[in-house]
Structure 1
Amino acid sequence: MTEGNFTDYVKIYAQSGNGGKGSVHLHREKYIDKGGPDGGDGGRGGHVIVRGNENLWTLIHFKFQRHFRGGHGEHGGSSRSTGADGQDTYLEVPLGTIIKDIETEEVLFEITEHNQEQILLDGGKGGLGNWNFRSSTNQTPRYAQPGIPGKEGTYLLELKILADVGLVGFPNAGKSTLLSVITSAKPKIADYPFTTLKPNLGIVEYRNFQSFVMADIPGIIEGAAEGKGLGHYFLRHIERNSTLLFLVPADADNIAKEYLILLNELKKYNAELLDKERLVVVSKSDLLDDELMTELKAELDETLKGVPYMFISSVTQQHIVELKDKLWQMLNAEKTSN
């Protein structure tokens, strides 16, 4: 999937189908002059239903079709025949999609499981035929109910990536390089800031055919929580990651300060993000000699206050296996505690 094909935010219009009319019909048959009422009910209008699909990773298909309508219910017929229900319309979305009312910005529901279905708009109810209105005092009612019109609305579909581990770091921290080494993903990599403009997903293969999903979130900048740059578009993808991997390059001016800035941006955006498991990883550590490594460890011990940290090099593969082990351990500790 190329960056240009990644869409995680789209507006749609949806309308459910109208219910069919009830029938006004009197039974007619040979040798029966005045049969009673036998008008059937109208069919239900088609629902608009949102359904989760684990094979989708983006909302790109909604860029080309943004209007959706359920089918109308058919009218009732004679002999108490009920009209057919209108055809339901399904909106297939990737897991992690949130549906909001665009006017109130209320979150209506979220889709997190494969084949999970949620009705966005109910189809209109079919009207009752005149057979339902017969009585001892009104044996030939010549009226029936009209169908109830369908509903309509404009909605916002917003994708928050479902991944086990989220990579957090400043632009050009080496996140895309790490993702390309630790998974089979092929993100765009270059030696300048903001190479990654959209989140990238990769599956980390672990021992005994086990695996977990890692997401490379585009680089955070100071002020991202206030919407600077594309701050909110980037930060919302971190909300669903169970573990956050903070990546700071060894050639940074101040590693501890960079970590604290990143942490502060997450806190300002959503303080609950600080409750997630954290791991600080110093990348490009092949640039460090023993003396610098010792100094950095002392500084990190003081700054991180118990948050685990590691030194790795994506280029030389230094401590990549140990990183997988650590992440697997953290993820399973999280699942066990839940």
Structure 2
Amino acid sequence: MKNEMLTVADVAARIEDGATMVIAGAEELLRELPKGNWIGGTTVYFVTDQGGAVVRDKLFCTTFDRAAEVAVRYVGVDGLNTIAEGYKPNGFTMIMIPAFSVAHSNFAVEGQTYDNLFNQPLAGWITGVHLDDLGKKAPMIFDGATGKGYDEGAVLLHVGLPADAKADLDILNIFAQGDQKDLTFRFQKDGFSAVTAEVNGQQVDFAQYIEDNKIDTRLPLVANYSGAMVNVSIQSVDTQSGEVKFYAPVVEGVEYRMANALGSYAQAFADGAGNAGEGQYSCNCILNYLYGELEGQRTGNFTGPVTFGEIAYILLNQTLVRMDITDTDAA
């Protein structure tokens, strides 16, 4: 597996040579690429070898050089529940979904119920745009098999590996549930927003509670999903309407706690990653990029796109998703 920042001409040549790739970059660059075994999505934020950066003139490419079988597929909103139908034997699937789309919402809320979704590694991200272009340009996804771009649905790259290889999918979450074990949050329904919450068993106006208690909304709510810490990040708090919006859905009845505060984001990632990252696929969250002031700073050895949400089977926030292709004993 190779991660590289390349010119359009270099990417086009690699596609025409038959490479299997996931590609991130500006929409106008993705539209220039030839048809082939690739999927793509829009972002101009990246973590590079030199640190976090906005890059508009090159594309970030992950090339899967051990792919034995490949299929590129676009599915509309109604086809999201068929994701696993394209899974290849001994394989993995890459997925991209445009931010703020119906597919984004539906996958976030319903994805974990899709048949056989967890039967093999499913990794990817929510595509975005430069923050200055929010509301002006739509995040896009690209089906490399046809060359078409979409602002709705999902693109999938189904990859089968040879018998002597396997895909390992993991997340790096630098947040832990806060030390206030007696401070818990529960919600009455699934969704990307909430007006009320149950705080320590008492029903409260959630927006007003956040305001009154001066909660740092740069920190996510954290739930323990069978030992995996999963974040839900707060997008906005409106005390006039009483609505709190999230970047990922809260789940009815699940216990959440506020995350512990951090010192340095970049250092926390570097400490958590150790020497890992080189030669692995990864994507990092735009909130980590912004709140951690990662421009010009590295996050260990991980390089890759900075995204509007990360996918490791389910939608995640403020998390780094990483996947590695490793050897097995099979031959």
- The answer to whether the superposition gives a TM-score over 0.5 is no
TM-score by length of structure 2 reads: 0.27
Q: Which has the higher strand share?
A: 2
**Which has the higher Rg, Structure 1 or Structure 2?**
1
Q: Which has the higher helix share?
A: 1
TM-score by length of structure 1 reads: 0.26
Higher RCO by CA contacts (8 Å cutoff, separation 6 or greater)? 2
